[in-house]
Amino acid sequence: MTNDDIPSLSSFDDESLAKAFAALEQQARDDAASLDSPDAVEAFRLRWTGRKQGRLNDVSSRWLKAAPPQAKKSVGERFKALKELVEGLLDQASGSGPSDAALAAEAIDVTLPGTRRLTGTEHPITRTLNEIVSVFAALGYSVGVGPEVETDFYNFVVIANQEKRGPRERLLLRTHTSPVQMRTMERQPPPVRIVIPGKVHRNDAADATHSPIFHQVEGLCVDTNITFSDLKGTLDHAMKALFGSAVKTRFFPSFFPFTEPSADVQISCIFCGGKGCRKCKDSGWIELLGCGMVDPAVFAFAAEKQPAYDPKKISGFAFGMGVERIAMMKYGISEIGSLYAGDMRFLNQFVKQVGDMSRTRHYRDLIAWQKAMELARCVYARTEEFPKSETFGLRMQLRRSAVSVAKELLDLATRVAKLINGLLGVLDQDTEPDGTRQPANLPRA
């Protein structure tokens, strides 16, 4: 019997079957003994276990299928043993591994310094959006979300105080996140304090400062006795938290269809400190967002599903700002298209700024605590200006409260200073990919 031919059996007695299968087993062992490369192992696998021309397939068709009924059991048992032998030889040959020469060529020197995997960071838009949301979250606001594909009823009719819902509604990509305000009021009775970050779409021509797709953060506060002073105080605090305690705000009358009265908010130029420069067009001020008191007609729409929104009993304010505009101001970006281009040369500079931005944020927090402590001291000092007649009890009560607040803030500011000093010390140990240390650029608290 040769390696290429599987002869037909003329007799299926035990002696003939034992002789024939023994010859095949010996051939399989001889072939496996000569395997010295992965190609030879693959050839052995195809020669013996191939579906079309494999020798086991030939044995099955020539011997097992042709065997008489009384001999099929004996042929099947011997065929099974032959198949297990071939598979074992194949597994043994495959598990032998590559040669010593191949292993030497792929050797790795474990004593060499490893390659540092660079850690990614947030996109400038994402980072700015999260900073804005975190400022209002600290004031007790929750985050509201809604569909990006909106109906014209929520996107235009309700917000613009137009006619009631019609029999037919059209779908569109929302042009602002304001519809989430109405959807929230329909689900939740007052009080409501939410900020709504999200992507919006408008039919704007793309230029250096405009894009047909951008991101907004809108806010809504509804409760009893909400006044315009609450709105001014909230936004003034938010702008100082975002751009520093030295930033000033001012409000100018404006018009928005869903607020009355409405205002535009300007902040003192963060580039020139209000002295006037090219960034602020020599005015010292930069317009940043819009706001206003919620129009009672908007509450009337919400009252259809939530009767608690009675315009005679509640009031509220709303505001909205563009995330890209704030990101461009914070990071000195002159072209809005750079935020969407995905150019790694542009984005890599923000990876290097992670440590610096962290130091800036912690240092700004320390300044905020120091300002709060100064405010408490001012309250304490102003109590001396109260008339000493008839208001002595009130004066002393305010004085004791101011002293207590000042002490608590002083202790808290001291702990925060120690914490920030520790964080700055850790950040000073940050190293660049080339192994050099990145020094801190901020003064110690």
From first CA to last CA, the distance across the chain in angstroms is: 92
State the Cα angle at 334 between 333 and 338, rounded to 5°.
70
SS3 379: helix
- Measured distance CA(297)–CA(162) in Å, rounded: 9
Residues 6+ apart with CB under 8 A from 31: 3, 44, 47, 48
Q: Is 176 left (phi over 0), alpha (psi -120 to 50) or beta?
A: beta
| Residue 320: DSSP 8-state | E
* pLDDT at residue number 292: 95
Which residue in this structure is represented by tokens 């310094």?
113
Element (H, E) at 399: helix 392-428
> Could you list the pLDDT tens digit for every one of the 445 residues in the chain?
444 567 777 777 878 888 888 888 888 888 888 777 878 888 887 888 777 777 888 887 778 777 888 888 888 888 888 888 888 887 777 765 555 666 777 778 788 877 777 677 889 999 999 999 999 999 999 999 999 999 888 888 776 655 555 545 789 999 999 999 999 999 999 999 999 999 999 998 888 888 999 999 999 999 999 999 999 999 999 999 999 888 999 999 999 888 999 999 999 998 888 888 888 888 999 999 999 999 998 898 888 889 999 999 999 999 999 999 999 988 888 889 889 988 888 888 877 554 444 444 554 555 555 555 566 556 555 555 555 444 455 555 655 666 666 666 667 766 776 666 665 555 444 444 444 434 333 333 3
Single-letter amino acid, residue 431:
T
CA dihedral 292, 296, 297, 298 (to 10 degrees): 60
Give the pairing type, strands 142-143 and 192-201: parallel
**What are the extents of the domains in the chain?**
14-105, 124-346, 353-445
**Residue 266 C-alpha from the chain's centroid:** 30
Residue for token pair 């023994």:
22
Whole-model pTM: value is 0.56
Confidence at residue 234, expressed as pLDDT on a 0 to 100 scale: 94
Give Cα separations from 405 to 321, 360, 378, 399 (angstroms).
Answer: 34, 27, 11, 10
**What dihedral do alpha carbons 356, 362, 363, 366 form, nearest 10°?**
180
Number of other residues whose CB lies within 10 A of the CB of residue 272: 14
Nearest to 92 by CA among 84, 100, 80: 84
- What distance in Å separates the CA atoms of residue 39 and residue 21, rounded to the nearest whole number? 27
Separation CA 74–CA 86 (nearest Å) = 19
Phi and psi at residue 379, to the nearest 5° = -60, -40
Nearest-10 crossing angle of helices 354-382, 392-428: 160
DSSP letters spanning 243-304: H-TT--EEEEEEEETTEEEEEEEEEE-TTTTTS--TTTTTSSEEEEEEEEEEPHHHHHHHHT
Query: Any idea which architecture 124-346 has in CATH?
Result: 2-Layer Sandwich (3.30)
CA 422 to chain centroid:
27
Supply the pLDDT for residue 199: 94
Selection from 228, 209, 222, 231 nearest residue 322 by Cα: 209
What is the rounded distance in angstroms from the CA atom of residue 384 to the CA atom of residue 361? 36
Contact 220, 181 (CB under 8 A): yes
